[in-house]
Amino acid sequence: MHDLSPSNSRGRPGRWPASVEWRAETELVPYARALDEMTARNAAIHQRTADELIWLLEHPPVYTAGTSAAEAELLDPRFEVVRAGRGGRYTYHGPGQRVGYVLLDLTRRARDVAGFVHALEGWVIEALASFGVKAWRAQGRVGIWTRDLAGAEAKIGAIGVRVRRWVTMHGFAVNLSPDLSHFAGIVPCGLPEFGVTSLAALGLEVSAAQWDAALLAAGPAFLAALERPCPDACAVPGLSGDNA
């Protein structure tokens, strides 16, 4: 169920740190505009002239290319294609897919990039669990995985991160109710042997507002996880970095 109301939500909800802005858009935001704003905010956070930011939104249909994207994986450029600068390969964004851009200063935390990616995955997995969806990480395969109605393993969420001067940008995208046929224009994340699914395809009607609320409820645990180094040998898929 795709449900966007006509107004935006910004601020710092209860139990949310005062230093981290929570912004939930309720209208589609063009990808290029979001990328420009995210890049500027990343720099401002590094300079300590702006607060950190969790930014939830949806885009008009677009294909984005990460730093590892191969041209052969762009099968049908039916939508705009944007070089995103994040780690990872090709992915699709569009209405019904909720994107979370996470801009946090890791110098204020454990300064552990692998731990950040691990915690980000865990945040999405916990939010999905609140709707009764069992999801997991898969070794060597970027993304968040579950079973589709046929029992096959399928991707329900994408992860792609960049870290500049220890400030994170980009983040995750979770399929609430997008048009799954739009993924056919690419090889999602370079994994042709696996399909994609959504909460709607699993028979669940979850609005953007409901999804955002689930993320907010799981948010304190996500932030707490960033205070300690990654507990094991975390892989860092979907990452691009230029720290100094």
Concatenating the DSSP letter of every residue in 128-171 gives HHTTT---EEETTEEEEEEE-TTS-EEEEEEEEEEEETTEEEEE
Q: How many CA atoms lie within 13 A of 238 on its CB side?
A: 31
Token pair, residue 87, equals 């780690």
Phi, psi of 115 (to 5 degrees): -65, -35
Give the 3-state secondary structure of residue 230: coil
Please state at what angle helix 113-129 crosses helix 208-225, rounded to 10 degrees.
140
Instruction: Give the integer Cα–Cα distance in Å for 172 and 99.
Output: 6
Q: End-to-end CA distance of the chain: give it in Å, rounded.
A: 43
Instruction: Cite the active site residues.
Output: 189
Q: For strand 141-147 and strand 153-164, is the pairing parallel, antiparallel, or unpaired?
A: antiparallel
